[in-house]
Amino acid sequence: MPPARIGLIVPSSNVTVETEIPRILARESSSQFSFHSSRMRMHAVTRDQLLAMNAQRERCVLEIGDASIDALLYACLVAIMATGPGAHRDVELRIAEQLASGGSQAKVLSSAGALVTALSDLRARRVALIMPYMKPLARSVVEYIEGEGFEVSAWRALEVEDNAEVGGIPADAERFAALFPHQDVSRTRIPGQHFGAPLRDGMTSGATLAGNEMSHWMGERFPTAAFVSA
């Protein structure tokens, strides 16, 4: 069986998704995939640039559809969450409809949708969030997570605006734990695609949650394959 083709739509300045997702899938799944990317121009993680980036979505879907993909990951969590409650459902539906108009039956998942689903699957109730974003955008993420029925007991914004720099933030478990010295939370999560590995008990990254969710999601559809990264 040939590899399942996975489309990735990512911000142009993102340097993590195309390495983290294949690595996570390789660890969690025996399936075989190839990866094919299209990029939306965005450098600074600001509301204006996120909105401008979102406007490029249809072009990217059109380009990635030419690769005859089997599934697509729309990988910009904050760009979705900043547009309002439940936006990942609308984005996933619109992308699927655009692909279908060209004859593609590819399945669609967003990083925001994967995070929400993974937290639900974990039966998480109370979460603490560490985010790389500036505070106004971080508040948007908090409100989005709360709108999905989770209690955000605490949150911190690292306030890194340059998206290229976000990819270089070290995944320092002790530093992150120290941000919440008095919090009693069932799980601590770091949303976004910026920290690519489990950190410690009760603490992990949005990339790991999204990647694990995608691995489960893809494994149900392509249960017989072995893994290849391209």
pLDDT digits (tens, 9 = 90+) for 157-199: 888 898 888 777 776 656 666 666 655 443 333 433 333 344 4
Instruction: Tell me which H or E stretch contains 79.
Output: helix 77-81
- pLDDT at position 210 is 56
Residues, the chain, total? Answer: 230
pLDDT in tens, 109-157: 998 998 888 888 878 888 888 888 899 999 999 999 999 999 998 888 8
Measured N-to-C along each axis, helices 135-147 and 111-121 cross at an angle, to the nearest 10 degrees, of 50
The residues with which 205 forms a beta bridge, in sequence order, are: 190
pTM: 0.78
- pLDDT at position 85 is 94
Sorted by where each starts, the structural domains of the chain and their CATH numbers stand as: 4-113+209-221 (3.40.50.12500), 115-206 (3.40.50.12500)
What's the distance, CA 151 to chain centroid?
20
DSSP letters spanning 189-201:
EE-SSS--S--BT
- pLDDT at position 25 is 74
- pLDDT at position 206 is 55
pLDDT in tens, 21-41: 787 777 766 678 889 999 999
